[in-house]
Amino acid sequence: MSLVEFDIIKRYFTRPAKQQSVSQSVGDDCAVLTLSSNKQLVLSMDTLVCGRHFPEDAAPYDIATRALCTSLSDLAAMGAKPLWFTLGLTLPAASHEWLSEFSQGLFAISDRYNVDLIGGDTTQGPLAVTIQVHGEVDQGQGLCRHSAQVGDSVFVTGCLGDGAAALAVLQGEELGSAVDKDYLLQRFYQPFPQIAMGQYLQSIASAAIDISDGLVADARHIARASQVDMVINTESLPLSDLLSAKPCYYNEINHIRSKRLEWALTGGDDYQLLFTVHPEKLTQLQLLIDENLVVATNIGFITAKSQDVGDVVCYLNGGPYSVNYPLGGYQHFVT
Ligand code: ADP
Ligand code: MG
């Protein structure tokens, strides 16, 4: 390890741990962590590559917040409680200004969700950020994709569409002056991982996933893994305020209205949870909704698969609705 790397790590990535479970954090050969009894460790790793997952001119603060928020969303989808994370950082050059802003963004989010940075690796090369998050669930209680059953209801948390609208802004689409671009960019760079809702749903949902690639694409993961079909009633989708704006004399709003179904169905980046619930658990879910602990909308149900593999079937006002995929997957900024 060179002195420069040592300085970077000490100066920007070393902080006292908040969790008692951390016996050794950044600075030794390994982190040492105490595991709780009757819990299972839940892990997930994601890499964000400059120019592919975030624009080349993205601010370092924003890169950090997006990387950690989107990683934490995977823990939310399992119903896990976040504990720790590690950071693999590949940097073209070690600029103090860049590192200072990046670490501020990183710790703003780690403080918000009470997770400790416990180690990582720092290397030189094209800008890329890898985060591995670690969380815990009660034994056998993690929410998986493979356990949706025929007869379950399908729900989505929060509302959909701002992620796709934000991406449209970032890709230079003109949404007009009536649209609050700062708000949308905030949604892109600081999506809310639904950590609390994920934990409430742990004992209620039969299967869950976070919506990172688009509702239908992620719904299909549940359908395939569970070997069922998922029916989605598109008129039930909870649209964000921007997408549900009434028609008006601003052409841009009318443009957004024309895109809203497509954005809600295929746009990624909302990081809401899509989950299924067995009929016996619906009353419990309703209690959580009534207490405002969970915000969720019933958007469909699970049926037996009609083909070899499970799939997603969309309806609009009772008739079949075929979904376009104009947004084309997750490689947002490939030119
Ligand atoms: P080694 O050569 O033993 O692998 P490293 O130089 O990779 O040591 O890292 C030294 C210490 O700094 C380790 O505790 C490692 O986890 C931590 N570390 C390195 N890079 C980062 C980073 N980007 N964020 C947090 N901790 C880091
Ligand atoms: Mg190392």
What is this structure's pTM? 0.93
Q: Does residue 335 carry a pLDDT above 60?
A: no
Q: Does residue 327 carry a pLDDT above 70?
A: no
Is residue 199 within 6 Å of ligand 1 at its C-beta?
Answer: no
As a whole number of angstroms, the distance between CA 205 and CA 184 comes to 30
Across 228-232, average pLDDT: 98
CA distance readout (Å), 39 to 23, 137, 141, 158: 18, 5, 9, 28
Average pLDDT, the chain: 93
Write out the H or E segment, with its range, that includes residue 66.
Answer: helix 60-78
Our mutation pick for probing the ligand 1 site, out of 47, 116, 121, 124, counting the most ligand atoms within 8 A of Cβ, is 121
Strands 273-277 and 205-210: antiparallel
Is residue 3 within 6 Å of ligand 1 at its C-beta?
Answer: no
pLDDT of residue 263: 92
What is the length of the chain? 335
pLDDT digits (tens, 9 = 90+) for 84-95: 999 999 999 989
Task: Give the ligand at the shortest distance from the Cα of 86.
Answer: 1
**Cα 87 to ligand 1 centroid, rounded to whole Å:** 9
pLDDT digits (tens, 9 = 90+) for 18-57: 999 999 999 999 999 999 999 999 999 999 999 999 999 9
Q: Does residue 248 carry a pLDDT above 80?
A: no
Asked whether 28 and 15 are in contact (CB, 8 A), the reply is no
Write out the H or E segment, with its range, that includes residue 266.
Answer: helix 251-266
Is residue 5 within 6 Å of ligand 1 at its C-beta?
Answer: yes
Count of Cβ atoms closer than 10 Å to residue 258 Cβ: 9
pLDDT digits (tens, 9 = 90+) for 259-305: 889 999 998 899 999 999 999 999 999 999 999 999 999 999 999 99
Q: Coil, strand, or helix at residue 52?
A: coil
Q: For residues 28-38, b (16+ Cβ closer than 10 Å) or e, as one string?
A: eeebebeeeee
Is residue 119 within 6 Å of ligand 1 at its C-beta?
Answer: yes
**Cα 102 to ligand 2 centroid, rounded to whole Å:** 20
pLDDT of residue 333: 66
Q: Which of 70-74, 85-89, 115-119, 169-173 has the lowest mean pLDDT?
A: 169-173
Q: Whose CA is nearest to atom 10 of ligand 1?
A: 27
Counting from 1 in the atom list of ligand 1, the atom nearest the Cα of 25 is: 14
pLDDT digits (tens, 9 = 90+) for 170-221: 988 888 877 889 999 999 999 999 999 999 999 999 999 999 999 999 999 9
